[in-house]
Chains A and B, each alone.
Chain A
Amino acid sequence: KQEVTQIPAALSVPEGENLVLNCSFTDSAIYNLQWFRQDPGKGLTSLLLIQSSQREQTSGRLNASLDKSSGRSTLYIAASQPGDSATYLCAVRPGNYGQNFVFGPGTRLSVLP
């Protein structure tokens, strides 16, 4: 059974810092991996989708990498801003397409002005 963990559970940084959020999964047979952000009381907003054949994806100040063999993905946020404060979740789609996404518990990020 696929399990997803995220470290750290919470992170507080001053504005302007570069930071890395970690996601680990137990079964390397995945179809893709997706990073989301969730603001309090809101739904999930898609940030980046990495297919199993890719090693990284970039969008603006965000860069996500995928190392399938080691069961890890990282989300790198450059020059953090207070508006980046949210919970960041990763989700893994198993390799047998059509099965459900498995989510990690999230990392709660606070960027202090």
Chain B
Amino acid sequence: GAGVSQSPRYKVAKRGQDVALRCDPISGHVSLFWYQQALGQGPEFLTYFQNEAQLDKSGLPSDRFFAERPEGSVSTLKIQRTQQEDSAVYLCASSFIGDGELFFGEGSRLTVL
């Protein structure tokens, strides 16, 4: 696609529900990142994929967070048993290896009630 696409744009979940956020990176981009952004702050790293390999998941805040990219293109970030502190904007970004310029999607805004 022309840009990084994320869905849903907005998600409201009741505490304890599971949610899944989808990211469709720019075609041909090997690297894919997930970031979490709280209101008024810069994005915080969650996890990084190179093709289908998850090379770094050091930023995932708990074992309730899980990300996958099984075929090296579309990625899903799953949050189990959501808590209020999970409310944030979840940003996906991709880059073409060897260049490094990062391109972001519009984000998925999660609100946990």
Using CB atoms and an 8 Å cutoff, list the residues of chain A in contact with chain B: 4, 31-32, 34, 36, 41-46, 49, 51, 89, 91, 93, 97-106
Contact = CB atoms under 8 A, between A and B. Distances in A.
A108 B36 CA distance: 19
Interface of B is mostly: strand
A91 B102 contact: yes
Interface of B: 4, 6, 31, 33, 35, 41-45, 48, 50, 55-56, 59, 91, 93, 100-107, 109
A33 B59 CA distance: 20
B104 A106 contact: no
Contacts of A93: 100
Given A43-B107, A106-B42, A100 B91 contact: no
Contacts, number: 60
Contacts of A104: 42
Contact of B91 (A41, A44, A98, A105): A44
Given A43-B91, A43-B106, A103 B42 contact: yes
